[in-house]
Amino acid sequence: MRKMSITLMLACFLLTGVASTQTESAPPATEVKIGDIAPDFTLVDQNGKPRSLHDYKGKKNVVLAFYVWAFSSD
């Protein structure tokens, strides 16, 4: 009986593991949609200067262009 419950627990544990792996590999949906407030951030540019999204608020439109990696073709 004890052995069976341990096996059962182990099975549950493994299944949970499989389930969580599946959620991670599901095609990612975009979190930010049209109409949402864009999440603020501060990141460093190619010259080491920090840039924040809020720097442009009330002043300019911002085009955020995410790219896969530097030296990608386009």
Partner 1 sequence: MRNFQQNLAKLEAADTQVLGVSMDNPFANKVFADQNGVTFPLLSDIGGKVIRQYGIYKEYDQFHTKIPAARRATYLIDTNGKVVEMQVDADAVDPTKTVRACERRKLTR
The yes or no reply on residue 3 touching partner 1 (CB under 8 A) is no
The residue range among 1-9, 12-20, 59-67 that interacts with partner 1, by the rule CB under 8 A, is: 59-67
Nearest-angstrom CA–CA distance, 38 and 32: 7
Q: Which tokens is 3 given?
A: 């052995």
Element (DSSP H or E) covering residue 43 = strand 42-44
Is residue 26 involved in binding partner 1 (CB under 8 A)? no
Bridge partners of 52, per DSSP, are: 42
Q: Does 58 bind partner 1 (CB under 8 A)?
A: yes
Binding site for partner 1 (CB under 8 A): 28-41, 43-49, 51, 53-54, 56-71, 74
